[in-house]
Amino acid sequence: MSSFKNTGHLFRFAGLFVLAFLIFLGVRGFVVPKSFGQYGHYRGNAIVDDAARPMFYAGHQACETCHADIAATKASGAHAHVNCEACHGPQAIHALADDPTAHIPVKPDSATLCIRCHAKTLAKPKNFPQVDGDHSQGMACITCHTNPHSPAMDTAAKGGAK
């Protein structure tokens, strides 16, 4: 028993740890959201919150139901895999509305739109079609690439700048 007598201070230090741990648990129960860990290492309710936010993009299936002609043109050309809204911007306000004519989207300006994807930089894969500043000779891209939905040019114009 006498050997125990001298360990009192050590137990007190250990008690400090236990106390700190209990406080930690208490604070933790208070600050950690209830739904934390429901699906993974995040607040489960974040999904509910996100689902409640307004939609901005309608998705290309939505566009295709009304603009079937353009969808067909696009599907046959080089931009087949580029989404409508990648060029036209978020259009839920137009496509999902009861009256689509209430918000008619403005036509994108090809002078600024096309180079966003096609400007030549070293970082892009070599087989991606890229053009430098001289290519358009100061004209808007659709002067020559007349149909943005199927941008390859007709045979008559081909053999030009490339």
Give the interface with another protein as residue ranges (CB under 8 A): 3, 5-10, 12-13, 16-17, 20, 24, 27-28, 31-32, 36-37, 41, 121-123
Binding to ligand HEC in span 59-78, by CB under 6 A: 60, 62-67, 70-71, 74, 78
Interface with ligand HEC, residue 101, by CB under 6 A: yes
- List the beta bridge partners of residue 36: 43
DSSP type of residue 154: P
Of 75, 47, 100, nearest to 92 (Cα)?
Answer: 100
Helix (H) or strand (E) holding 156: none
Cα angle 114, 81, 69; round to 5: 90
CB of residue 68 to ligand HEC, shortest distance in Å: 9
Q: How far is the CB of 38 from another protein (least distance, A)?
A: 13
To which residue do tokens 């002067």 refer? 143
- Of 24-32, 34-42, 45-53, 101-109, the segment contacting ligand HEC by CB under 6 A is 101-109
Q: 111 and 148 in contact (C-beta within 8 Å)?
A: no
Closest CA to 79 of 161, 127, 148: 148
Residues engaged in binding ligand HEC (CB under 6 A): 58, 60, 62-67, 70-71, 74, 78-79, 82, 84-88, 91, 94-95, 100-101, 104-105, 107-108, 110, 113-118, 128-129, 131, 135-137, 139, 141-145, 148-149, 151-153, 157-158, 160-162
